[in-house]
Structure 1
Amino acid sequence: MTVKIYCLPGTMCDQRLWQACTEHLPENIELIHIAIPVKRNIDEIVTALKQQFPAGKINLVGFSLGGYLASAYALKYPEKINKLLLISNMSYSLPEAELKQRSRTIAYLKTHGYLGIPTKRITALLDVSKQKNYDIINCVREMDTDLGKETLIYQLTVTTQRENLLIKLPKLHFPIQFLIGDNDLLVKINLIEAIATQSPLISLSVLNNTGHMLPLEQPEKCALNIKRFFIE
């Protein structure tokens, strides 16, 4: 029997985020990419996701922004979740510095347009061992280019105001795993470790020599983790 796993991407990511992982999964595991719905706020996005997912419980994966949305969905519809995997995300509110940076970025994009994500920004998301991996760099750039300026403005605008969902996850009654790169500068592993002590259903797996773009940097290990978490 095929095990279906629904996957929410991060900011300016599409189905290519999961492609390398899929190549390392057995045939009985199907990753189903779900694009982030275009709605006015996070709550409306979560409601729209419910309409896209099948009836009954699902296996849900979220990467980065998708991880936050997956957490929001799980908290609003806990009866709809079998297992939840959060990759490169800690379901936390954005720090003040990030809020200010987003505001400046949105204003700049509206005034000056968008020339695409700079290579320097891409490499900053990667572990130092992957910063010259042009397959990864080009994949990130191509996803960004194809999604374009309007998608970036939308995603930055609608998903900036976030509450801290991390502290709410221990009340959920299904397995939750965080899969994090040891050199992910956007995630604070110590906060996840503290939350994991509050529930036996929450676990943390850390991949060494890995930055934020975990499914692209470590597709084989990511696939192995998916298999173990959802199947074994």
Structure 2
Amino acid sequence: MGASVADVVDGLVAQLPANPVAVFGFSLGGYLAAALALAAPDRIERLFVCANSACALPTQEILQRQQLIHAIDRFGYRGLHDNKIAQMVAPENLSSSAIADCMKAMDQRLGVDNLIQQLRVTSERLDLQAALASLEIPITYCYGEQDKLVSESWVAALVKRNQWVRQCVIPGSGHMLPLEQPEKLARAIKSWLAPQ
């Protein structure tokens, strides 16, 4: 990962093929996918942003990230806590050990060094709404109905500003939409990929 979001996006642009492609991004990847589409609009055919609103992080979220980094530096990291899982998953899915186990395994694979770098690099984000409002490619913003990390008002405002943007809200899911409602998300992706 680069030293900034712009560095990450520059690296992604360098990897794009010459012909326009469909781009999907989940969570932080959704923000990066939106930034990528803005950086190289002629090389992006369509965009699917899952579980993200491409806006600046709230001050409270930035503060929590700084506190987490400080705590990890001081006390070490013991892995993804059940309280964090409860914040990211819809209440009706909390009893699924498969979801929690998968989230913990992903966290473990990422590792503490990558986690800290990701938190540092991606905390300072620009609000991309004004730029996305003029992007003329099919764009889908899809998120769980109970996703506390997505600003519904931000997505709704973008839908009003750009006729190319479609909003897809999936019930029975929080932030971990691919794990909580994989079949419903797959249908939304198939719809997005269908010829226009």
TM-score category of the 2 structures, normalised to the smaller one: over 0.9
In the other structure, the counterpart of 1:181 is 144
In the other structure, the counterpart of 2:27 is 64
In the other structure, the counterpart of 2:11 is 48
1:209 aligns with 2:154: no
Q: How big is each residue's C-alpha offset from its partner over 1:45-85, in whole Å with a ceiling of 9 and x where there is no partner?
A: 01111222322211001111111111111111111110000
Gaps of 5+ in 1: 1-37
In the other structure, the counterpart of 2:132 is 169
Pick one of 92, 98, 101 that aligns with 1:138. 101
In the other structure, the counterpart of 2:80 is 117
Q: 1:166 & 1:122 partners in 2: Cα distance? A: 28
Q: Return the TM-score normalized by structure 1.
A: 0.82
Q: 2:154 & 2:28 partners in 1: Cα distance? A: 17
Pick one of 51, 69, 88 that aligns with 2:51. 88
Deviation (angstroms), 1:120: 1.6
Contact 2:90–2:174 (8 Å) recurs in 1: yes
Contact 1:123–1:137 (8 Å) recurs in 2: no
Q: 2:14 & 2:180 partners in 1: Cα distance? A: 32
Deviation (angstroms), 1:93: 0.2
Contact 2:16–2:43 (8 Å) recurs in 1: no
SS in 2 for 1:106: helix
Q: 1:97 & 1:225 partners in 2: Cα distance? A: 32
Deviation (angstroms), 1:214: 0.4
In the other structure, the counterpart of 2:92 is 129
In the other structure, the counterpart of 1:222 is 185
Q: 1:53 & 1:187 partners in 2: Cα distance? A: 27
SS in 2 for 1:143: helix
Contact 1:182–1:206 (8 Å) recurs in 2: yes
Contact 2:25–2:50 (8 Å) recurs in 1: yes
Deviation (angstroms), 1:113: 1.4
Contact 2:46–2:137 (8 Å) recurs in 1: yes
Counterpart amino acid of 1:79?
A: D
1:192 aligns with 2:155: yes
Q: Return the TM-score normalized by structure 2.
A: 0.96
Runs of 4+ in 1 over 6 A off after TM superposition: none
Q: 2:153 & 2:61 partners in 1: Cα distance? A: 20
Deviation (angstroms), 1:155: 0.2
Counterpart amino acid of 1:189?
A: E
Q: 1:129 & 1:108 partners in 2: Cα distance? A: 30
Greater per-residue helix proportion: 2
Gaps of 5+ in 2: none
